Amino acid sequence: MGTTSAAEVETIAETVHDAIASRVFPRHAKDSRFDEVLKRCVRGNIGLLADVASGRVHHEEPQLGHALAFAEVVADQGLPFEDLERAYWVGLEQFWHRWLAIVGEAAARGDGTVAELIGDRTPAVFGYVTRVLGLVSARYDEAAGELACTGEERRRALVGELLGAAPPAHTQFLDDELGYRLRACHLALLLQGDRPHAERRLARLRHETDAQAALLVQRSPGLWAGWLGFPGRVDPATLRMIRQAVSRHGEPVVAGGPALGLAGFRRAHEEAVRAFALREVLADPGDFLWYTDVRLEAFLLGDPAAARRFVAEELGELAEANERADRIRETLLAALASGSQARAAAELGVHENTVRLRIRTATELLGDALSERRTELLVALRLRRALGPQAGSGSMDAVG
């Protein structure tokens, strides 16, 4: 068969990816990092299969970095090799079905008979898959062996049990296996990057925050769950030190906790996961997002569309995205949160008369809401800040 277009190859790759994701890895494919590695593997394999089926590749050892990388990820996730093997046969089934359709279309155009277009390449196609499976099997075994040797798989399995629906009771055995004291006060983090980078960041944070212990396990490709353990309840001074240490590194990180004991180990991680999900919703999450700072937003943004409607209904014209409305919202939020116009002026670095003027303008726009719906108004202002310009609509003509 002649040259296959890049568009045809991409269409086949999408079909193959969707079949493997839904039939072999329905749960893991929901993880964007896992799915991205799967997509790269599928694209690479389909591109080579198309070359083999077209008679363009004759060498025995194709470049298989994409396939070996996915084998490592499957092993890192603790998935059985049978799942990886099944993914290849599902992929071959989908590829061959679509390839025969392309051949049939070419034959209908008069490019040749189906037999002429397919030629004698069927053994080469199946031979390619068999050869690749042999190589990825070896890489899977190597990666799985490396995990077993380091104890990472055991720690990750224990952490998975601790975070599961029916966690085991605390024992000294768990502490010894994890190398981490579960009765500590925990700060949970989610870190992105490869293993050495995540390990260095957690070690640096442990040193800078005087944490008693640290624990790091992989949760998905490129995403790591870390815990810092402190010997007792974390006081406000230590919280400030932790915030400064995490913030100054200038890399994306989310945090949950601090929380005490085994229940706190779980709770802190759950909070970090919620904060991580919020990064996709917040207009400006910043490099460091601590759940304690956004827990109201996390609760209210379970339904972002409803939250946007609430903001629009409560703020009206003040929800708009223009400079004057932005200033009034900022001033009103500071005044309501602090309970004092003087403190709001100091916080914003403006004269108290400026605060009074802006609040007067807000009163004209909001009517009785400023006196009768202060709680709703404060919540709407926080949501508007979290959602950014997407929360507003319409125009604003008269803002002081």
Express each pLDDT in 155-188 by its tens digit. Answer: 888 899 999 888 888 888 888 888 899 999 999 9
Query: Do 120 and 25 share a structural domain?
Result: yes
Span 135-151, average pLDDT: 82
Query: Do 209 and 83 share a structural domain?
Result: no
Query: Do 232 and 128 share a structural domain?
Result: no
Q: How high is the pLDDT of residue 86?
A: 93
Query: 281 pLDDT exceeds 50?
Result: yes
Query: Do 234 and 143 share a structural domain?
Result: no
Among 114, 133, 150, give the residue marking a domain's end.
Answer: 150
Query: What is the band of 4 on the pLDDT scale with cuts at 50, 70, 90?
Result: low
Total tally of structural domains belonging to the chain: 3
Position 113 in a domain = yes
Query: Do 386 and 283 share a structural domain?
Result: no
Query: What is the band of 393 on the pLDDT scale with cuts at 50, 70, 90?
Result: very low
User: Can you list the pairs that 119-122 forms with residues at least 24 positions away whose Cβ atoms lie under 8 Å?
Assistant: 119/1, 119/55, 121/52, 121/53, 121/54, 121/55
Position 197 in a domain = yes
Among 299, 330, 361, give the residue marking a domain's end.
Answer: 299
Query: 58 pLDDT exceeds 80?
Result: no
Query: Do 312 and 229 share a structural domain?
Result: no
Cα–Cα distance for residue pair 42/48, rounded to 1 Å = 10
Q: How high is the pLDDT of residue 395?
A: 35
Position 34 in a domain = yes
Query: Do 214 and 134 share a structural domain?
Result: no
Q: How high is the pLDDT of residue 261?
A: 93
Cα–Cα distance for residue pair 270/291, rounded to 1 Å = 10
**Which range in 107-116, 203-212, 359-368, 369-378 is most confidently predicted, on average pLDDT?**
203-212
Largest CA distance in the chain: 87
Among 283, 299, 315, give the residue marking a domain's end.
Answer: 299
Query: Do 27 and 125 share a structural domain?
Result: yes
Domain housing 289 = 178-299
Query: 1 pLDDT exceeds 80?
Result: no
Q: Are 288 and 300 in contact (CB under 8 A)?
A: no
Position 223 in a domain = yes
Span 294-304, average pLDDT: 75
Q: Are 335 and 350 in contact (CB under 8 A)?
A: no
Q: How high is the pLDDT of residue 391?
A: 59
Position 119 in a domain = yes
- Which one is predicted more confidently, 303 or 238? 238
Query: Do 83 and 20 share a structural domain?
Result: yes
Query: 15 pLDDT exceeds 50?
Result: yes
What is the distance of C-alpha 203 from the center of its chain? 22
β-strand partners of 230:
185
Q: How high is the pLDDT of residue 392?
A: 52
- Looking at every residue in the chain, the average pLDDT score rounds to 83
Position 156 in a domain = no
Position 338 in a domain = yes
Query: Do 315 and 288 share a structural domain?
Result: no
Q: Of the given ranges (8-22, 41-55, 69-83, 304-318), which has the lowest mean pLDDT? A: 304-318
Cα–Cα distance for residue pair 5/204, rounded to 1 Å = 50
Q: How high is the pLDDT of residue 396?
A: 36
Query: Do 137 and 194 share a structural domain?
Result: no
User: Can you list the pairs that 332-338 forms with residues at least 24 positions away whose Cβ atoms lie under 8 Å?
Assistant: 332/358, 332/359, 332/362, 332/377, 332/381, 333/378, 333/381, 333/382, 333/385, 335/359, 336/374, 336/377, 336/378, 336/381, 337/378
Position 167 in a domain = no
Query: Do 17 and 83 share a structural domain?
Result: yes
Q: Are 311 and 376 in contact (CB under 8 A)?
A: no
- Which one is predicted more confidently, 69 or 154? 69
Which pTM was predicted?
0.56
Q: What is the CATH number of the domain that holds 295?
A: 3.30.70.260
